[in-house]
Amino acid sequence: MTRFLTTALGAISLTLGASMLHAEDYPSKAIDYIIPYNPGGESDVTARFQEKFWNDVTGQDVVISYKPGAGGATAWSQLGGFDADGYTIMNVNFPHAILQPAIKEVGYQTEDVIPVYVFHYTPDAIVVRADSPYQTLQDLIDFANENPGALTFGGSGTNSANHLAAVRFGAMADVTVTYVPFGGSAPSMAAVLGGQIGAGMTYTTQGVKAGDQVRVLAIATEERLDIFPDVPTFKELGFDYVAGAYRGVTVPADTPDDIRQQLSDIIAEINDIPEFQSQMEENGYVLVDVPHAEMGDWIAARQADYASGIEILKGN
């Protein structure tokens, strides 16, 4: 019995030692970074911004690849099939990863894709073509009041951040709007510029890209952004609304906590690099810092915030 216990304890010690050594050495090779969308969107752009700093911080590279489909659900539903060793990480988007499983069966649950870190959000923004008759948000609301359902909002897909923003805005402003889903932010903005829809429920990043082709009527931030000094926030206009698409990095659910914490620390360090901050801010992104230790409370707060909008989406 003594010999058995000694052997067993030795095996446990070796296993724990190997695990600790693995954690101490992490990362010791390149990391696969999966984007659950097509190239060129906000998730890809910010991963590319991060990419150049991974080697500076860790001594290792990231290799970015794409697994698009179903608004992110295709990739997120496959996350559990990857090795839980920290060498496969995946971009994750909220509210998408809360809305999708709350509304229908999508092959994963929100708890399956809990991030190790959330590092930015793209604030919601209402934009119209530069020659639109809507000079202000109130002009747009007045039209919607006088013509229920006639105002069309274009956005990126159904049960997405844009879709949620459109229904929440309709409820806040007490107006009826018609949401028109597109295959992404770019095609929805093309429809705004082409005059096919009345307004875009999109992001500040799209307003930056479109430049003087559009007029940004309001943005969902706490304070005005330097990139849009003349654009009021929804709060300034009487709507208590700060929201957008939050993006972070997740890993398979079985990934050890020490690896999750190290990934969290790495992304926090990248978020703190002035060059990275400048790139993000100049392109309309707002940096946030939600580390691994705070993620449970943050997810719970998001779920509570989205609850009323989810009920509206379920009824559509």
Do the bridges between strand 62-66 and strand 31-35 make them parallel or antiparallel, or are there none, so unpaired? parallel
Q: For position 7, what pLDDT does the model report? A: 47
Q: For position 8, what pLDDT does the model report? A: 46
| pLDDT tens per residue across span 73-122 | 999 999 999 999 999 999 999 999 999 999 999 999 999 999 999 999 99
Q: What are 209's two structure tokens? A: 């890209």
Q: How far apart are CA 126 and CA 139, in angstroms?
A: 12
Residue 251 DSSP symbol: -
Q: How confident is the model at residue 6 (pLDDT cuts 50, 70, 90)?
A: very low
Q: What are 193's two structure tokens? A: 């510029």
Query: Within a 13 Å sphere around the CA of 250, how many CA atoms are in the beta-carbon half?
Result: 29
Q: For position 23, what pLDDT does the model report? A: 57
Cβ-based neighbours of 124, under 8 Å, separated by 6 or more? 161, 162, 165, 201, 202, 203, 219, 220, 241, 243, 244
**Chain centre to alpha carbon of residue 110:** 13
- CB-count exposure of residue 6 (10 Å: 0-12, 13-18, 19+): exposed
Collapsing DSSP states into helix, strand and coil, what is residue 215?
A: strand
| pLDDT tens per residue across span 140-193 | 999 999 999 999 999 988 888 999 999 999 999 999 999 999 888 888 999 999
Q: How far apart are CA 143 and CA 133, in angstroms?
A: 10
